[in-house]
Amino acid sequence: MASRIYGWLDSRLNLKPVEKTLLDEPIPGGASWIYVFGSVTLFLFVLQAVTGMFLAVYYAPTPDHAYDSVRFIESEVTFGAFVRGLHHWGASAMVVAIGLHMLQAFLYGAYKPPREAMWMAGVLLFLIVMAFAFTGYLLPWDQTAYWATRIGINMVGTVPLVGEFLMKVMRGGEVLGALTLSRFFAVHVLFLPALIVGLIALHLFILRRVGPAGPWTDERATLGSETFYPRQVYMDAVAIFCAFLLVAAAALAIPLPLTDKADPSDTSFVPVPEWYFLFYYELLKYVHGPLEPLATWILPAAVVLVMFLWPFIDRNPARNPIRRPVALGAGALFLAVVLSLLGLSIKNLYAVPRADPAVARGKALYAEFGCAGCHRIHGEGGAVAPDLSYVGDVRPDRDWHNRHFKDPQSVSPGSFMPKFPLTDQQLNDLTSYMLSLKKAP
């Protein structure tokens, strides 16, 4: 049946040349698992696009509703939390995949003539992926998103001459507010996807024109070649399936709790960026005063410029890493600095225990409403109602607690617990405190 449909389409659309272009491309030296990262990155972009479209159906890009719409996706929409998890962890996986793809191209000297333009397009793709991460970070409109974005925009303001102008363009005005959120949303879902699709097409076009670089030794490349289909397609498919399993497992196993709704007046809040920005976050701690522009824009601009122009900087014609000691040393030094800063940042973050402020407020509400008169927590309080010492383990469902506090009779028939006039914020805080009461830390 499938062959008949394909035959019918081929007779009208002449698909054989397309099939030959896509599947019969020769790979010097043959198929290899080291070549799978490009296809994995492309798949993860498609995954981001699909999950992003479903999230956009329920998302409201306004300060009044953005936070609540994300909470609605998490708690009310069928598979909403899973789709948001796929989108979140898919972003991390995409950063890893494109990083490994660029590392493989660097080690194999795949930026050497005639592939300079393909490397340069890849660097631009990497920058767009990071721009996706930055613009998407603001969209939940919680405290972390608001203050991390504010810090990022303020760093742009340190660029001489155009910094103030760029800040106003990014914010949509003088302050970070409704125009900023709508602008970031538009850039995230309209401008950047259009740019990345165009660059992916350009990257693939250049690849088809110049062909894969193949192994770094001419001896191995001359042993022969094989077409992209079937072995390389099989390897790419296995790698894509494994990547999806990892992302899906993270989406199911690791919750994505929101911090409090964005509060521009709470200047005491200290945001922590996503892991792929942590090395930069750590670098900023060591540069202060008049040297601050060195970290905020001079070094980043220099690194991006060197990466972009690297095919013209490295004039060594050899592709074998052993014969490129300067290039290999520069790459190793760059990775060592980035990974060291990342490791230091993670170590420092885990060394300082952080408490969710919503839990502290929920504990205060628990005392304010006199809940200890009926409930007991770790031996303190009354014994009239159920012991709440480990209620977070017994009842880990946030939605159940929300419904219980709104109307105790609806989930616990016969309960004598009265209804309390709780605002949405109080409801969230009290539920956060209940969920924190667990045996495990």
Task: Determine the average pLDDT of the residues in 125-129.
Answer: 97
Q: Find out whether 145 and 274 touch, Cβ atoms under 8 Å.
A: no
In terms of average pLDDT, the best of 51-60, 152-161, 168-177 is 51-60
Question: What's the mean pLDDT when you consider all of the chain?
Answer: 90
Q: Is the pLDDT of residue 67 over 90?
A: yes
Task: Determine the average pLDDT of the residues in 113-122.
Answer: 96
Domain 31-351 class in CATH: mainly alpha
Q: Is the pLDDT of residue 436 over 90?
A: no
363, amino acid identity: K
* Phi and psi angles of residue 381, each rounded to the nearest 5 degrees, phi first: 120, 180
383 pLDDT band, cuts 50/70/90, is: confident
pLDDT in tens, 12-28: 888 888 777 777 888 88
Task: Determine the average pLDDT of the residues in 173-193.
Answer: 95
Q: What percent of the chain has pLDDT over 70?
A: 97
116 pLDDT band, cuts 50/70/90, is: very high
pLDDT in tens, 333-343: 999 999 999 99
CATH number of 357-436: 1.10.760.10
Given this model, what pLDDT does residue 355 score? Answer: 60
Given this model, what pLDDT does residue 382 score? Answer: 82
Given this model, what pLDDT does residue 440 score? Answer: 61
Task: Determine the average pLDDT of the residues in 375-395.
Answer: 84
pLDDT in tens, 319-372: 999 999 999 999 999 999 999 999 999 888 776 555 667 788 888 888 888 888
The 10 Å CB-count burial string (b at 16+, else e) for 270-286 is ebebbebbbbbbbbeee
Q: Find out whether 243 and 97 touch, Cβ atoms under 8 Å.
A: yes
Q: Is 100 exposed, middle or buried (0-12, 13-18, 19+ CB in 10 A)?
A: middle
DSSP 4-56: HHHHHHHHHH--HHHHHHHH--EEET---GGG-HHHHHHHHHHHHHHHHHHHH
Distance CA(317)–CA(404), nearest Å, equals: 70
Distance CA(157)–CA(166), nearest Å, equals: 7
Q: What is the pTM of this model?
A: 0.82
Given this model, what pLDDT does residue 224 score? Answer: 73
Whether 31-351 shares its CATH topology with 357-436 is answered no
Q: Is the pLDDT of residue 309 over 70?
A: yes
Q: Is the pLDDT of residue 418 over 60?
A: yes
Sequence ranges of the domains in the chain:
31-351, 357-436
Task: Determine the average pLDDT of the residues in 241-265.
Answer: 91
Given this model, what pLDDT does residue 222 score? Answer: 66
223 pLDDT band, cuts 50/70/90, is: low
Distance CA(359)–CA(381), nearest Å, equals: 19
Q: Is the pLDDT of residue 218 over 70?
A: no
Q: Is the pLDDT of residue 221 over 70?
A: no
